[in-house]
Each structure stands twice: as C-alpha cells, then as structure tokens.
Amino acid sequence: MKAMVWFIALAAVGGVVYGLYRVRAKWEERNKASEERFASFISQALPGSLPVAPAGAATAPTPAPMPLKANNDVVQQRLLLEAASKAGEAGEAALSIQLYAKLLTRYPQSSFASQARAAVETQKKKLAPKPS
C-alpha cells in the first residue's frame, strides 16, 4: 500500500513537471513568433532598413531601392494618410482633418492629395453641428 502511494505521488509530481515544461515551451514559441513579427514590422516601418526574414526562410534577391529621399517622402505621405483615416474611423474628426491638412501642406502635389481632399470634406460633414 505504501508503494502505491509513493507511485501516485511520483506520477503527480511528474505530471506537474511535464505540464510546466509544456507551458514554458509554448511561452518561448510565442515570444519567438512575437519577436519575428516585431522585426518584420520595424523593417517595413523604417525606410532604408534591411528587411528581416523569418528564421529558416529563403532569401530572394531584392530589387534596386528607390532613392532614399523619394522613398522617404512616399512613406511619410502614406503614413500621414493612414493615420488620418484611422483617426477618422475612431471618431476623431478634428484630428483627422489636422492630419490631412498636414499632408496637403507638406505634399500639395502628392498622389494622395485628391483622396485627402475628399476625406477632409467627409470629415467636415461629420464635424458640423447637427440641427436640432
């Protein structure tokens, strides 16, 4: 009987140890995936940075980069447009209009200018007080 109690106790301890081992392995796997996603995000967000490939991925030849100034301008325009549209979706019409104005002031001949002007008109309609 005493041997059976020891066997059950050792099995329980072994089960707990195995469970902790599995939890730790999943945690490390999630951290690794998170770091890869973060590295990918940073490489896309920062112009001129080298792309970071996930571990084990084959690297393909990259096309010749655009001149840094032109690439940076397009990235800035796109970021301003995206930020303004996100602010509009979040119900922050005034902030959205300010961001669109910043885009139009800095880059009046931008390929995003017509889209920004149309969005400003939409946001102004949302901002206007409703008649009672």
Query: Are 53 and 72 a contacting pair, CB within 8 Å?
Result: no
Cβ burial 73-103 (10 Å sphere, 16+ → b, else e): bbebbeebbebbbebbeeeebebbbebbeeb
Residue 87's CATH number: 1.20.58
61 lies in some domain: no
Tally of residues, the chain? 132
pTM of the model: 0.45
Same domain, 79 and 31: no
How do residues 109-129 score in pLDDT, each as one tens digit? 888 888 888 888 888 888 777
Closest C-alpha to 73, from 115, 116, 106: 106
Token couple for 64: 């010749």
Q: Which domain holds residue 31?
A: 1-45
89-111 residue pLDDT tens:
888 888 888 988 888 888 888 88
Please tell me whether residues 120 and 84 are part of one structural domain: yes
